Structure 1
Amino acid sequence: MKLFKFPAAALEKAIHKRLLTLASPHREWFAERWQQKPYRKAFVERKAMPLVTLVSKGKTWDDATFNEVLAEWDVTFHEAETEVLSPLVQGDGLLQLMQKNLPAERAAVLLERLRRRPGDVAPAAPTAAPADPND
């Protein structure tokens, strides 16, 4: 999903700032991993940057495009990662101007995606109306 290139350094700074305000069990879990360069790079590239893209572009995309890009973003989140990323959707800090016109239903979909845990079944993509059994 290389549709939008937000400055990674600014995103890392926002994540680090959020790390300082996390509650205790989440702070320790995330801080330990955030110090590891491979985790940090993967987290920014696979989780945070696509989220920023969905927030910034999600307000102007049609439903089909938004749903398609959301379906392509196949990741799961640890609870601490959700705590770090949720403010990016909810209007805190770095992305306030981007979030300004994001439809509430799309923000809710993004927050629900952040709550998806390993082992959760991904919701089925919307399909055509079911066939009439009387046919």
Structure 2
Amino acid sequence: MKLFSFPAAALEKAIHKRILTLPSPHREWFAERWQQKPYKKSFVQNKAMPLVTLVAKGKTWDDETFAQGLAEWDVSFHEAEAEVLRPLIKGDGLIQLMQKNLPAERAQALLERLATRRPGSAPAAAAD
């Protein structure tokens, strides 16, 4: 899904900043992988950038287009990855202005999407 061009360097900087505030053991798990260039590139391209696109475009897309974009984003998340990305939806940091008018139900749909786990990973926490 390449519908929005957001500077990858700014996104990487925001992710790195978020790593510093992650609780243990998420910080260790994510930081170890973040140091690996293939993982970092894949995470930004396949998980973080599509999320930013859905947040940015989710304000103006009709329901059908948003649902289609969400369905096309076919990835699963480790709990630590969800912890890194959750603030991008909730209005924290880097893309605060983009989140400003995001309808609550679409933000909730994105948060629920982050709950999609890889097979064999720990179950998501029941409450946020």
Alignment TM-score, normalising by the size of structure 1: 0.87
Q: Which amino acid aligns with 1:12?
A: E
Structure 1 outlier segments of 4+, above 6 Å: none
Identity across the alignment (%): 79
In the other structure, the counterpart of 1:8 is 8
Question: In structure 2, how many angstroms separate the alpha carbons of the residues matched to 1:42 and 1:113?
Answer: 18
TM-superposed CA distance for 1:24, in Å, is 1.0
Question: In structure 1, how many angstroms separate the alpha carbons of the residues matched to 2:30 and 2:96?
Answer: 24
TM-superposed CA distance for 1:118, in Å, is 1.9
Q: Which amino acid aligns with 2:50?
A: P
Question: In structure 2, how many angstroms separate the alpha carbons of the residues matched to 1:2 and 1:117?
Answer: 23
TM-superposed CA distance for 1:16, in Å, is 0.1
TM-superposed CA distance for 1:119, in Å, is 3.7
Question: In structure 1, how many angstroms separate the alpha carbons of the residues matched to 2:69 and 2:85?
Answer: 18
In the other structure, the counterpart of 1:20 is 20
Question: In structure 2, how many angstroms separate the alpha carbons of the residues matched to 1:119 and 1:64?
Answer: 29
Question: In structure 1, how many angstroms separate the alpha carbons of the residues matched to 2:118 and 2:112?
Answer: 14
Question: In structure 2, how many angstroms separate the alpha carbons of the residues matched to 1:25 and 1:118?
Answer: 17
The yes-or-no answer on 1:103 pairing with 2:103 is: yes
Alignment TM-score, normalising by the size of structure 2: 0.92
In the other structure, the counterpart of 1:132 is none
In the other structure, the counterpart of 1:53 is 53
> Which is higher, the Rg of structure 1 or of structure 2?
1
- Deviations 1:18-77, CA, capped at 9 Å, x for gaps: 000000100000000000000000000000000000000000000000000110000000
Question: In structure 1, how many angstroms separate the alpha carbons of the residues matched to 2:118 and 2:13?
Answer: 27
Cα RMSD, aligned residues only: 1.0
Q: Which amino acid aligns with 1:110?
A: L
- Deviations 1:70-99, CA, capped at 9 Å, x for gaps: 100000000000000000000000010000
Question: In structure 2, how many angstroms separate the alpha carbons of the residues matched to 1:107 and 1:70?
Answer: 11
Residues 1-135 of structure 1 aligned to structure 2 (within 5 Å): 1-119=1-119
Tell me, which stretches of 5 or more residues in structure 1 are unaligned? 121-135
